[in-house]
Amino acid sequence: MPALDKELRKAILALPAARKDKLLLQLLTPNQLLQEQLAFELLEGPDGLETRREALHAHIQAVAQGFYYNASELLIALRALCPLLNNHAKVTADAYGGVSLLLLLLKEVLLYQQDLVRDLTGATEPLGVFLAKQTQEALQKLQKLHEDLHVEFADDLNQVLPKLHASAAGYTARKLGVPVRWE
């Protein structure tokens, strides 16, 4: 995004407070993400982050532990859940929470939906691809975190990765270069 011209910046800062407030509100109205970011920062405060994480944690567990007739139904539910995780990361700038929630999703699905992800068939292939790509994304996000935090995720990753490789996602995980063990 281009920076404001210095002259324009000075002119905006020189505007009366009422005019600046009106302009600010006009700019915020069409931008839903910015509205959510400001609401989080200004209204929820530091406790809001933990509250949001807990709500997403409960939602992930409900989805992962739910009953699904087939892999396609599970995949639809998981695809509906991922935008919520991405929105959480964008609104709160919570990189740590983004990784932990994504790992929770993978761990729970591989634990509670074993029957649907066990064998690679034509019906389970899209679900396997989805799980492998989400694991790859979690690993990429984890690499961006400070290396001291890597230790906190090692146990969860070392539970997820072998199960992933032993499931319908194994073929795609190997193609994507997802490791079998996290060091």
Q: How high is the mean pLDDT in each 10-residue block of the chain (183 residues)?
A: 80 85 82 86 84 95 95 96 93 92 96 92 93 96 90 92 94 94 83
How many CB atoms neighbour CB 167 within 10 A?
A: 24
pLDDT attached to residue 9: 83
pLDDT attached to residue 175: 95
pLDDT attached to residue 1: 60
- Main-chain phi, psi angles of 140, to 5 degrees: -65, -40
pLDDT attached to residue 26: 84
Asked whether 101 and 137 are in contact (CB, 8 A), the reply is no
Q: Nearest Cα to 140, choosing from 91, 83, 89?
A: 89
Asked whether 124 and 117 are in contact (CB, 8 A), the reply is yes
